[in-house]
Structure 1
Amino acid sequence: MPGRPAPAALPPAPRAWIGLIAALAALVVVVLGFLYAGHSEPGTVDAWIHEAVYGVRPPWRRVALATDFLGEPAGAAVVVAAVVAGCLLLRSPRTAVLVVAGAGVTVVTTTLLKHLVGRTINGGYLSYPSGHTAFLTALALALALLATGRLGLGRTAGTLLVLAAALVAGAVMGWAQVALGAHYPTDVLGGWCTALALVPATAWLVDRTADRRADRTTNAVQRQTH
């Protein structure tokens, strides 16, 4: 007989609200992309925040560099491997798939958007949206969705947990990116919203694919027993 189904990557209770948030986040990504397409200078809000945050000194600079490393290829690979291993130990294979797929889709999308929007910083480096911020936010979202399902949280509590996790991850990495001068604050916001838009959609696809495979397995077993 088929085993017990794996926990959903996108828990049912907060699904509608998270879907709405994802749609709004996608809209923000598009609007900011149009506003800053081809720009090479900070906007008014960018300049104000940049002045307050940029140029941190030790020990905070070391903290910013360590945080930035989590979004670099080597650091990201280690983090993803550790999180996937944890998900498998918790018997949450769908979340393990979401971690890899969600982070991958998010990073690829930010890379494509950078070339499409063409905003630059520091003499020609593509900056919008921030891939580092999107990556860490994507991981936080996947883990928050896992916690929501395991704790059995309802629509409101689950949505708040997911948003809080995304906000903390985005704020930490976003601070590091602005402090190091790698991105404008609006680049950080664009990266954060990119993850908010893509991870729930990816989670839904993971669940849909896994459910279809489980249904096919169940039907095959039923045919064999009759």
Structure 2
Amino acid sequence: MRGWLGPVAAVAALVVVVLGVLYAGGGRPGGVDARILAAVEGTGPRARHIALATDFLGEPLGAAILVAAVVAGCLLLRRPRGAVLAVAGVGLAVVTTRVLKHLVGRTIHGDENLSYPSGHTAFLTALALVVTLLATGRSGLGRTAGAVLVLLVALVAGVAMGWAQVVLGAHYPTDALGGWFTALAVIPATAWAVDRVAGSGPHRTR
């Protein structure tokens, strides 16, 4: 699926930059944010419990458990490159959001809370991308079917975590969108780099 990964990553990176420029230095929701926030206002306790459980997946402990499970699965299936991608790709996605937060300077609930882009959303989307890319690689799905499946799973993961962050008041909706696109930009680039490094060695291991 290398043919479509590159263009997707390029478009995603462009969207991240555009959103970052639009909301740089801001501390208030934009028009789209306000409409979505109004729609989720008054969310009941049950939804908040679900949001908290989803949010835990992006916290250090929850994230470590998920990444460790993916790495263990890759090693059991003798897919060392997959394990490297899970650690490097997801790690780079999270680090990228942290760097961007300081560059963009958008805040929520005070000047100390940098919000754009959402690291939680980037994390879960990145992990979903890694797992689905590895799964479609083994399944033998065609290019189109594989691409649709990868993007669909990434969308579900991003929407789930983004919704949780908005419901909990941790991020604006556009922060979550920026986190989703950050993962779409970082994971394909990392996958290409891992493939290139592994392919240049004396023994290429799949």
Please report the TM-score for the alignment, with normalisation by the length of structure 1.
0.87
The Cα offsets for residues 106-156 of structure 1, whole Å up to 9 and x where unpaired, read as 100000000000000011210000000000000000011011111111211
What's the CA shift for 1:56? 2.3
Contact 2:198/2:204 (8 A) holds in 1? no
Shift of 1:187: 0.4
Question: Number of paired residues?
Answer: 204
Query: Equivalent of 1:29, from 12, 16, 32?
Result: 16
- CA distance in structure 1 between the partners assigned to 2:9 and 2:188 by the alignment: 7
Pairing partner for 2:90 from 103, 123, 144? 103
> What is the aligned partner in structure 2 of residue 154 from structure 1?
142
Which protein is bigger by CA-based radius of gyration?
1
Gap change, CA 1:180 and 1:216, over 3 Å in 2: closer
Compute the displacement of 1:198 (Å). Answer: 0.5
- The amino acid that maps onto 1:16 is G
Report the counterpart of residue 193 of structure 1 in structure 2. Answer: 181
2:9 alignment partner AA: A
Structure 1 outlier segments of 4+, above 3 Å: 214-217
Give the secondary structure class of the aligned counterpart of 1:126: coil
User: Is it true that 1:65 corresponds to 2:46 in the alignment?
Assistant: no
Unaligned runs of 5+ in 1: 1-13, 218-226
RMSD: 1.4
In 1, the alpha carbon distance for the partners of 2:46 and 2:36 equals: 20
Supply the distance in 1 between the matched residues of 2:80 and 2:133 (Cα, whole angstroms): 13
SS at match of 2:145: helix
Determine whether 1:78 maps to 2:43: no
Unaligned runs of 5+ in 2: none
* CA distance in structure 1 between the aligned counterparts of 2:43 and 2:93, rounded to whole angstroms: 28
Q: 1:178, 1:185 within 8 Å by CA — same for their partners in 2?
A: yes
Q: Give SS of 1:192's match.
A: helix
Q: TM-score by structure 2 length? A: 0.96
For 1:195, give the aligned amino acid: A
Separation in structure 1 between the aligned mates of residue 125 and residue 176 of structure 2, nearest angstrom: 11
Q: Counterpart in 1 of 2:199? A: 211
Alignment partner of 1:113 out of 100, 116, 120: 100
How far 1:84 moved relative to its partner? Answer: 0.8
